[in-house]
Each structure stands twice: as structure tokens, then as C-alpha cells.
Amino acid sequence: MIKMYQIVDKIEEAPNVHRLIIHEPMIAEKAQPGQFVIIMSDEKGERVPMSIASTEKNTFTIFLLELGISSAKIANLKKGDDLYCVVGPLGMPSKIENYGRVVLGGGCYGIGAIYPIAKALKEAGNHVTSILEARNKYLLYYQKELEAVSDEVYIATSDGSVGTKGHVQDVLVNLIRDDHQYDHAKFIGCTYMMMNCAHITHPYKIPTMVSLNTIMLDATGMCGCCRVTVDGDTKFACVDGPEFDGHLVNWNELMMRKKSYHEEEMISYQTGPHVCRALLEINFGENIE
Ligand code: FES
């Protein structure tokens, strides 16, 4: 019998990018595009917010980018293992309507996260342009799936190994300069990319939504960890978001808040149980027994 929170399948889509299919019938039934879940690998694990990429019968799919200690712990779980806890669906669904011509951008985990939104916008009658970003061509994933729900797909890679050399914002600026008209835009991925894209669409008055990946704890609007300032008002990304108007987000404050535990995260990752003990001695010169 499949247990609650069981990982029914796990596929490494690209180096350090894992597709996890998780058994949780209620989330599978209720989740809407743009929503997320909180996942804990074990009793003492961090509560990690993850965008829901798709839902199937009794299961839902997330894309995990292995980046720090918490994502490494989840990535170390195998097919058939159980997660300690899954909470969701959380957050406000993405607003889906017939805007006309829509441009979407997804980088890293955002490639998977943008998929359900692209699919829903396409089904609502929009002309959908999707821009995918990865550091190199080996880190791209889900391209075929996004092509199936988009009218146009553009690729950006940091090393130029495929598509435009650069980022989502570089493709976006070229498209706009080439007179492509857009009535709506949505971006999911690293904060810097989303901020840049919002700055590009602002002078063209293209309504732009960004999905903010803030630090989260309870994800029910109680702790205040995920607070962001939007148009001068304090909002909680977990209950008011995760999507906000990219032209009204206080990006500087958001960047500062996201760095709050950077040092602790680095130490935790470099000294975690998954790290080679010989490397630890080399790096830290300490007796690690
Ligand atoms: Fe606690 Fe949003 S995570 S208020």
C-alpha cells in the first residue's frame, strides 16, 4: 500500500535537479497553478517551500534544485521513501484569464514551476511565450513539456551552450525591442532574474507578476518570516502570495531578508552529514570526530 507522503517516483532530470512525484491525494485534488507545498525531509528538517509543477491522480510533482543542506537531505531520499511531512496546497493560485499575449520566464526550479501556469494560460486562450533559463544546456529540463503548452519557447543559458547567452531578462529585452507585444508577464526563479524582468517590463507598462521565494516557517501567515513590502504595505508571501506585482515589490529589502541565514546555511551545508569527512578536515582543519 502506498503511504501518505511517499515518494512514488524520483527522476534526476538534470544534474542536481530532481523531479519528485509524491503521494498525497488531497493536494493532488485541490492544488491550482501557482500554489506550493511545504516539505520536511525528517522531524528536524527545515520546512522547505516548493512550487507544485503538476498534479496527477493521487500524486503531485515538484522539481527540487539541490542547493543547500535541506534540499540535499530531500534529494538523498529514494523512490519509495516517505517524507516526514507535506503541507498544502498553500498560497493564492495564479490569476488565470485571457490576457491576450503572455510572456513567461522560468529559471532553475522555476522551469518546472512555470509549467502549470503556461498550461492554464494556454487553455484560457492566451498566446503563450515561454523563456527558460539554465546555466548550461545540460541543466535544462521540461523543454518538451513547455513546448507542448506554449506558442513559442526561447532558451537562455549562462554559457551560451544553447539559445541566447545570458538570462531570461536578456531574451525578454530582445523580444520587446523586436516589437513583440505582451499584455501580461509572469516570472518564477531566482530573485535577481525576477527583479530584472520586472524592471524591463515596467517602462512598457506590461502587468508583471513574480512568484516570490522567501524564507518561510509556518506558511500560514502567523510567524512573519516571509514578509515582503509591496506598494509600501507589508504582505506575507505564504498567504497573500506567492505572486505579487513585480513593479511594486521592494526588491532591496527582499534581497537583504533572503541573505539573513546565508552564513549559517553555508556552514550547515559544508559540515552536514553528506559531506566527505576527509574534505571537512582539509577545508576546516579540524578534528571532526
Ligand atoms: Fe510565516 Fe508566512 S511563513 S507568515
CATH code of 158's domain: 3.40.50.80
Which domain-ending residue is among 90, 113, 128? 90
Span 87-136, pLDDT tens digits: 999 999 999 999 999 999 999 888 999 999 999 999 999 999 999 999 99
pTM of the model: 0.87
Same domain, 111 and 202: yes
The answer to whether residue 225 sits within a structural domain is: no
Same domain, 85 and 124: no
Assess whether the C-beta atom of 221 lies below 6 angstroms from ligand 1.
yes
**What average pLDDT is seen over the chain?**
89
Which domain-ending residue is among 211, 246, 272? 211
**What does the pLDDT read at residue 264?**
66
Residue 253 CA to ligand 1 center (angstroms) comes to 16
Residue 69 CA to ligand 1 center (angstroms) comes to 21
Assess whether the C-beta atom of 48 lies below 6 angstroms from ligand 1.
no
Span 173-226, pLDDT tens digits: 999 999 899 999 999 999 999 999 999 999 999 999 999 988 888 889 999 999
The answer to whether residue 108 sits within a structural domain is: yes
Residue 57 CA to ligand 1 center (angstroms) comes to 29
Assess whether the C-beta atom of 215 lies below 6 angstroms from ligand 1.
no
Average pLDDT over residues 41-65: 91
Span 214-264, pLDDT tens digits: 888 888 999 999 999 999 999 999 999 999 999 999 999 999 887 766 666
Same domain, 116 and 155: yes
Assess whether the C-beta atom of 87 lies below 6 angstroms from ligand 1.
no
Distance CA 61, CA 17 (A): 13
**Domain range holding 284?**
260-289
Assess whether the C-beta atom of 223 lies below 6 angstroms from ligand 1.
yes
Query: What is the number of domains present in the chain?
Result: 3
The answer to whether residue 198 sits within a structural domain is: yes
**What does the pLDDT read at residue 258?**
75
Assess whether the C-beta atom of 90 lies below 6 angstroms from ligand 1.
no
Which domain-ending residue is among 36, 68, 90? 90
The answer to whether residue 230 sits within a structural domain is: no
The answer to whether residue 96 sits within a structural domain is: no
Average pLDDT over residues 70-97: 92
Average pLDDT over residues 28-46: 92
**What does the pLDDT read at residue 185?**
98
Name the residue of 46, 220, 257 to mutate for ligand 1: max ligand atoms within 8 A of Cβ. Answer: 220
Same domain, 105 and 202: yes
Confidence band for 67, pLDDT divided at 50, 70 and 90: confident
Assess whether the C-beta atom of 219 lies below 6 angstroms from ligand 1.
yes
Span 10-34, pLDDT tens digits: 999 888 889 999 999 999 999 999 9
The answer to whether residue 112 sits within a structural domain is: yes
Span 142-165, pLDDT tens digits: 899 999 999 999 999 999 999 999
Confidence band for 53, pLDDT divided at 50, 70 and 90: very high
Average pLDDT over residues 44-73: 89
